[in-house]
Homo-oligomer: A and B are copies of this chain.
Amino acid sequence: MLHFRKSLYRLLETTTGKRRGIELAFNLLLITIITLNTIAIVLNTVPEYNRQYARLFTDFELFSVSFFTIEYVLRIWVCVENEKYRHWFWGRIRYIFSTSALIDFLAIFPFYFTLFATDLAIVRIFRLFRIFRLFRISRYSHAFRMIQSVVTDKKEELILSTMLVIFILIIVSSVMYYVEHPAQPDKFSSIPATMWWGVSAMATVGYGDIHPITPLGKLLGGITAILGIGLFALPTGILVSGFNEHIREHKPPQRKVCPHCGKEI
């Protein structure tokens, strides 16, 4: 039994290194089910598909939830193989509240919630959390961890530049409100309403449903757009310096030897 648990642990949690046939097959199965699940959730909202294939969607959802529930229970059972969750009771409790287990729980939770409680649209969104599973099993886990580590390293700078964007957004929108409100009182009706213009101008989206028409408003809109160019540059600069640092630190240093005297330099 304990040996079986160990094998199962390796099957479920192995994300790196050489994988044998069965682990590869299990991973492919998981990728297939998750991808089909995502497609099913998305297509289920299209009225004609919903009507035509209602039965298929329900059955597939039932199968998926069963599959993920069994997998979830098994993961809790085998998690004690991990050094971090060794204790038979507290280890499992701690595992249940780890990020990845919580995501797994949220992915199956909506089914049981709608079964026993009312059917809330917002709850159904959690089913999409199944997508995040792909990051754990994918062969891109190396690249994913690299990106994750860079983002974590530069967390403060990224939060700060997001704060900066929001502060500039508030100020630009407030000024724009006082400038454009007299000319378009229905569109620039309040600062929060103007912020919808502001965010779409600064992120250079520009839906066109709201834009300044007065000369002063257009001047301010132009300055905002040019400012937006700079706002794209800031997070890029932060991430780039993060990537560079990461590579410099994680690369094996090149050993250099003088070809004449044979000593290392």
A contacts, CB < 8 Å to B = 38, 41-47, 121-122, 124-125, 128, 131-132, 134, 138, 140, 142-144, 146-147, 150, 156-167, 170-171, 174-175, 177-178, 189-193, 195-196, 199-209, 211, 215, 218, 221-222, 225-226, 228-247, 256, 258-261, 263, 265
Contacts of A143 in B (CB 8 A): 156-157, 159-160
Q: State A242–B244 Cα separation when bound (angstroms).
A: 9
Please tell me if the beta carbons of A121 and B229 are within 8 angstroms of each other in the complex.
Answer: no
Q: State A60–B139 Cα separation when bound (angstroms).
A: 49
Copies of this protein chain in the complex: 4
If A46-B191, A196-B221 are given as contacts, then 15 extra A-B residue pairs at C-beta distance below 8 Å, sorted by A number, are A42-B170, A42-B195, A46-B189, A122-B178, A128-B174, A134-B163, A140-B163, A158-B230, A200-B225, A203-B225, A203-B226, A206-B208, A232-B233, A233-B238, A258-B263
Please tell me if the beta carbons of A45 and B191 are within 8 angstroms of each other in the complex.
Answer: yes
Contacts of A241 in B (CB 8 A): 240, 243-244, 246-247
B42, B47, B159, B177: the one within 8 Å of A45 (CB): B177
Listed residue (A189, A195, A259) with the most chain B CB atoms within 10 angstroms of its CB: A259
Contacts of A226 in B (CB 8 A): 162, 165-166, 199, 203
Please tell me if the beta carbons of B225 and A190 are within 8 angstroms of each other in the complex.
Answer: no
Instruction: State the Cβ distance, A247 to closest chain B Cβ, in Å.
Output: 6
Closest Cβ neighbor of A50 among chain B residues: B190
B158, B160, B205, B234: the one within 8 Å of A225 (CB): B205
Contacts of A235 in B (CB 8 A): 229-230, 233
Q: State A191–B201 Cα separation when bound (angstroms).
A: 22
Contacts of A247 in B (CB 8 A): 241, 244-245
Please tell me if the beta carbons of A237 and B240 are within 8 angstroms of each other in the complex.
Answer: yes
